[in-house]
């Protein structure tokens, strides 16, 4: 049986209600809850934006389904806290593993996601206590670049860092090596990119820069600058997940020839749909009826 949250209504008809109480707390209702009992369930629910609220709402749904003895598979394109998969400074909490453990302990049997930041390939993995199936949008993104941006002209695919190497390798490309500085900022912290290193020849060539996500845009901006200095011709920026914090999208559109993402997160640059890939994977798990 398929359950769809309202934040997935652009791709599938929702049958779960999520609203807000006056004090901001979440109200969640599954109108057809009785039909779910003792059945396999595939739940479609986005976890961005408002990731903290969306995570709690997901836990509320999973918990209720677990009490109804359902086998719950969650399909969520973007897993928040995925960049917090390890400790860098003493005393830091690896939020990614905590989130995965919460999902597993609440009753999620498998979590299906797309180009998860801490996973280095496609297929089935376990992070903490949570079984995860990671699927990739590398081919659809590359196909879009070929058809819509480069118009069948030859192009090189490069990745900003080794973290995105499997996406790039699927497209026959090569990843640079990223060197980061330490933490910056006050209440809002981040680690800026110091340098990009790599022996890749792009002079006179079209370039597709492919990454799993664009957040502040700093990494992608540095990669565009590297490609320009190396003599690249047309440069396109692509990512599975487009968060585009601040004015990062405007900056990228100014310095590159094209910027596009999937609709895993709804944003103005979302040009490539995830629906076909999702259809294939959730239908292989449980009958949608």
CA distance 37 to 87: 40
Question: Which tens digit of pLDDT belongs to each residue from 266-284?
Answer: 999 999 999 999 888 766 6
Residues 6+ apart with CB under 8 A from 183: 88, 89, 189, 190, 191
**In this structure, are 262 and 160 located in the same domain?**
yes
Q: Given the structure tokens 């585009």, which residue do they identify? A: 244
Number of domains in the chain: 2
Name which of 138, 108, 112 is nearest 281 in CA terms: 112
**In this structure, are 107 and 217 located in the same domain?**
no
**In this structure, are 233 and 256 located in the same domain?**
yes
CB-CB contact of 31 with 15 (8 Å): yes
Give the chain's mean pLDDT. Answer: 92
**In this structure, are 173 and 188 located in the same domain?**
yes
CATH code assigned at 168: 3.40.50.2020
Q: Tell me which residues of the chain have a pLDDT lower than 70.
A: 180-195, 282-289
pLDDT at 155: 97
**In this structure, are 237 and 278 located in the same domain?**
no
**In this structure, are 38 and 122 located in the same domain?**
yes
**In this structure, are 10 and 118 located in the same domain?**
yes
**In this structure, are 172 and 113 located in the same domain?**
no
pLDDT at 191: 53
Domain containing 263 equals: 138-272
pLDDT at 190: 58
**In this structure, are 13 and 106 located in the same domain?**
yes
């Amino acid at each position: 049986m398929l359950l769809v949250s309202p934040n997935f209504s652009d791709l599938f008809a929702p049958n779960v209600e999520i609203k807000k109480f006056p004090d901001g707390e979440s109200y969640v209702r599954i109108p057809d809850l009785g039909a779910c009992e003792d059945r396999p369930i595939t739940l479609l629910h986005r976890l961005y934006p408002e990731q903290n609220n969306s995570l709690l709402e997901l836990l509320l749904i999973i918990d209720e389904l677990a009490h109804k003895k359902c086998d719950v598979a969650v399909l969520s394109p973007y897993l928040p806290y995925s960049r917090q998969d390890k400790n860098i400074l003493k005393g830091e909490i690896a939020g990614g593993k905590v989130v995965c453990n919460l999902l597993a302990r609440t009753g999620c049997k498998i979590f299906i996601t797309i180009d998860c930041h801490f996973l280095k390939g496609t297929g089935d993995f376990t992070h903490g206590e949570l079984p995860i199936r990671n699927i990739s949008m590398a081919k659809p993104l590359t196909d879009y670049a070929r058809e819509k941006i480069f118009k069948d002209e030859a192009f090189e695919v490069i990745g900003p860092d080794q973290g995105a190497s499997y996406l790039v390798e699927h497209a026959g490309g090569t990843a640079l090596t990223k060197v980061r500085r330490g933490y910056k900022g006050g209440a809002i912290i981040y680690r800026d990119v110091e340098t990009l290193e790599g022996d890749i020849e792009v002079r006179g060539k079209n370039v597709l820069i492919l990454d799993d996500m664009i957040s502040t845009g700093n990494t992608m901006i540095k990669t565009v600058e590297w490609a320009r200095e190396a003599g690249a011709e047309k440069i396109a920026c692509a990512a599975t997940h487009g968060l585009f914090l601040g004015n990062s999208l405007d900056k990228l559109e100014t310095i590159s020839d094209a910027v596009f993402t999937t609709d895993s997160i709804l944003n103005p640059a979302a040009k490539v749909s995830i629906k076909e890939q999702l259809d294939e994977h959730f239908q292989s798990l449980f009958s949608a009826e």
